[in-house]
Homo-oligomer: A and B are copies of this chain.
C-alpha cells in the first residue's frame, strides 16, 4: 500500500499545477493523473453531474492503479464531490479548497480575501463558507472568471492579449481592499505573473496546489503511507479522455519532469463503471 501511487483527477490539464507541487515536495512518490478532457469544462455543469464524473474517475483509478490516496485536483470537483467521496471511499481523499482557504486565512492581514474561480465553484460558495468558518472576521469577494481558463488552456499566459483579458476580468476587485487572492481554479497559477501585474504587489496570490501538496504530505506521514522504496523520479502515469497530443503538449510545458506521454482513455472506461457496485 505504501508504495502504491497517489491519484489525481481533473477535468483537464489544470490539475497538473497541483501534481507539479506534489512531485516537487514528494519526489519519491509514484503518481497517476487522469484529465477528463472530453467532458470539460466541469465548471458550468450541475453539481450532481460533476459528482458522478468524479466518482467514475475515482473508481477507475482505484481499480486500475490501486491508488492509496486521491487528490481532487480541481476546485469544481472538490466543491461538488469531496464530502461524498470522503464518506464512501476507503482511501483518503483530499480536495484543494480547504487547504487553499486555510493558506489564505493564514496570509491575510486585512481579513479581506478575494477568490477567483469557475462559475461552478463560485456558485457553490465553498471557498466563502470555508474561509469564514476558519475565521469569521474574514469577508470574501468571489468572482467567476471562466475566460482565464481559456487563456490557460490555449497556453496564452503572458501576451498583451492575456494581460488585457485578465485586467478586464479582475476590474471588479479594484477598490475591494483585498490583500489576498485565492487562485481558485487549478489553471490560474499558470497566469500568476499577469494576475500579479494587474493587482500590484500589495495582493498576495494563494495557490491552493501548494497548500494541497502540504496537506498530502502531512496525511501520508500521519498514516505512515509515504513510499518507503525511495526511488527518486519514480513512475508517473497520465490518462486523458481527450486529445493525447494537446495533453502532452500542455504537460510538457508545465511540468519539470521526464517527458509526458499520456495514455488515451476511452470515455466508456469511465461511463460503464457500475457505481452502485462500488
Q: CB within 8 Å of B: which residues of A? A: 25, 27-28, 92, 94, 98-99, 102, 106, 133-137, 214-215, 217-219, 221-222, 226, 228, 230, 232
Contacts and interface: CB of A to CB of B under 8 A. Distances in A.
Contacts of A136: 230
Copies in the complex: 2
A228 B92 CA distance: 23
Contacts of A25: 106
Contact of A232 (B27, B94, B137, B226): B137
A83 to B, nearest CB: 9
B133 A221 contact: no
A222 B215 contact: yes
B28 A228 contact: no
A135 B134 CA distance: 34
Residue among A94, A98, A133, A221 having the largest count of chain B Cβ atoms under 10 Å: A221
Contacts of A226: 133-134
Contact of A135 (B98, B99, B232): B232
Nearest to A138: B230
A232 B108 CA distance: 14
Contacts of A222: 92, 94, 98, 215, 219
A91 to B, nearest CB: 13
9 contacts: A28-B134, A92-B222, A94-B222, A133-B228, A134-B226, A135-B232, A136-B230, A215-B221, A219-B222
